[in-house]
Amino acid sequence: EIVLTQSPGTLSLSPGESATLSCRASQSVSNNYLAWYQQKPGQTPRLLIYGASNRATGIPDRFSGSGSGTDFTLTISRLEPEDFAVYYCQQYGSSPTWTFGQGTKMEIK
């Protein structure tokens, strides 16, 4: 079973800055089946990135994903007030199974 570890746990930044969120897998993620989600309080998770680097429909180009194997990154440039939320990575593995990371909370500094 693949475990996803996200870092940092909390990220304090100001609007206009850039954010770099990390997701590390305990084993290689097959076919880069790694996704990122944004969740705001009281809302359901929203798909941002799939296949490690592909933006989902309607997601601004300020959001970008990169990485392969066991190390993945979500970068958010020019932070907007609405970007402050919790971010989760998620992988799809053989068997099949699905795993979520524990989340990174991005808060306004």
Partner 1 sequence: QVQLQESGPGLVKPSETLSLTCAVSGYSISSGYYWGWVRQPPGKGLEWIGSIYQSGSTYYNPSLQSRVSISVDTSKNQFSLNLSSVTAADTAVYYCARHIYTWDYWGQGTLVTVSS
What residues make contact with partner 1 under the rule CB under 8 A? 1, 33, 35, 37, 39, 44-45, 47, 50-51, 56, 88, 90, 92, 95-103
> Nearer to partner 1 by C-beta: 1 or 61?
1
Angle, alpha carbons 85-89-92 (nearest 5°) = 150
Q: Which residues contact 36 (CB under 8 A, 6 or more apart)?
A: 21, 23, 47, 48, 49, 63, 65, 74, 87, 88, 89, 90
Query: Is the Cβ of residue 9 or residue 16 nearer to partner 1 in the bound state?
Result: 9
What's the closest the beta carbon of residue 63 comes to partner 1, in angstroms?
A: 15
Residue 16 beta carbon to partner 1: minimum distance, rounded to whole angstroms: 28
Q: Indicate if the alpha-carbon torsion angle 22, 26, 29, 35 is positive or negative.
A: negative
Shortest distance in whole angstroms from residue 86 CB to partner 1: 8
CB nearer to partner 1: give 14 or 44: 44
